Amino acid sequence: MAHLLEFRNVTKTYTRGYFAEAGTTALQDFSMVLDEDSPTIMTVAGESGSGKTTLAMLLLGFIEPSKGQILYRGTNIKNLRGEERMTFRREVQAVFQDPFAVFNPFYTVDHLLTVPIERFKLAKSKADARNKMEEALSSVGLRPEDILGRFPHQLSGGQRQRINVARALLLKPKVLVADEPVSMVDASLRANILESLRGLHRDHGVSIVYITHDLTTAYHVANSIVVLYKGGVMEAGDVETVIQKPEHPYTKLLIDSIPWPDLDRRWGSDGMMVKEADGSDKGAKGCRFMGRCPHAIDACAVGVPPLYRVGPTQVASCVLHSTKPVLPAVQLTDVLPV
């Protein structure tokens, strides 16, 4: 089995100045594997400050891990050079949160599509380039004649975000990192963009890392989910089990806080109290969620709880489940369905 992309015990610490103690750990000992043969859609969920975006940046090679390695087809991405590096750049693509910020207002939107074509020499002629652009746009449900030649300000947020998906598609990537792709788009357009993403996965075999704080869309799009809190994995597993039957108190809190558009499911009906993070260093050595957890006990402060296997496709890092067998952190992806 060919590992396309692999995180091996990756830790990222942002330090201030030369005193490493004053650092913030944005991602702690994180391991995962994306396979080339079995593309998947994986959600990384969490609040702001949970390390979601750090994970995306690491994956794209924008920043380097403080500890551990990120391997692309078996090579550390730090050591990729020349042609290999270009292949990596082409095969790992991103769609970002803000569909307004990625466009240069001085160019027509064609620019965003022609640059990658030239850069990666995807087309033999002008006509071929044009064909490829039209094809990519059509496959995300846009009419090329409505889009090409227009300036970004003439298009809606949803159209722009779909152009971004089309651009990614143009490069025939293997992995797409989607960092909150729908959080700035109207609810009625969200469905269209998520559908384009799923089409990419279904028809083109692209693995998608879907980063979000919105568990409702995660549920509809993804196969598996990893819930992060302050850089640590709280719970992971297949998306249906985790969302319908969460085992970690943090996941329960998250799911209970979703404003469901359902009048019979009131907020907080599951009795999860919202506790303010008190800013103390409670849980500095142990479970990160301890300070806000309603079930916190002394054992939580002792050490970071390992991942306990609470089900065939579900793990939770919580001492409440300490009777269950432990899954080594490096094998995290083994429980995730594809």
Query: For residue 61, what are the CA distances in angstroms to 55, 85, 93, 158?
Result: 10, 10, 11, 27
Exposed e or buried b for every residue in 228-249, given b needs 16+ CB within 10 A? Answer: bbbbbbbbbbbbbbbbeebbbb
Indicate the residue among 65 and 231 with the shorter CB distance to another protein. Answer: 231
Indicate the residue among 45 and 129 with the shorter CB distance to another protein. Answer: 45
CB of 142 to another protein, least distance (A): 11
Q: In the set 63, 191, 301, 304, which binds another protein (CB under 8 A)? A: 191
Other CB atoms within 10 A of residue 168 CB: 26
Total number of residues that touch another protein (CB under 8 A): 42
State the number of CA atoms in the 13 A half-sphere of 233 facing the CB.
29
Contacts of 289 by beta carbon, 8 Å cutoff, 6+ apart: 229, 230, 234, 248, 249, 250, 283
Query: For residue 211, what are the CA distances in angstroms to 71, 181, 215, 225?
Result: 20, 8, 10, 10
The answer to whether 219 contacts another protein (rule: CB under 8 A) is yes
Angle at 281 between CA 280 and CA 285, to 5 degrees: 155
Indicate the residue among 35 and 47 with the shorter CB distance to another protein. Answer: 47
CB of 165 to another protein, least distance (A): 14
Within residues 273-312, the interface with another protein by CB under 8 A covers 274, 276-277
Contact pattern from residue 58 through residue 97 relative to another protein, giving x for each residue in contact according to CB under 8 A and a dash for the rest: ----------------------------------------
Other CB atoms within 10 A of residue 267 CB: 12
CA distance 175 to 42: 11
Within residues 240-259, the interface with another protein by CB under 8 A covers 240, 243-244, 253-254, 257-259
Q: In the set 43, 97, 217, 314, which binds another protein (CB under 8 A)? A: 217
Q: In the set 215, 287, 300, 335, which binds another protein (CB under 8 A)? A: 215
Indicate the residue among 182 and 329 with the shorter CB distance to another protein. Answer: 182
Please report, as a single letter, which amino acid is at residue 119: R
Which residues make up the interface to another protein (CB under 8 A)?
A: 47-48, 156-159, 186-192, 194-195, 198, 213-217, 219-221, 240, 243-244, 253-254, 257-263, 266-268, 274, 276-277
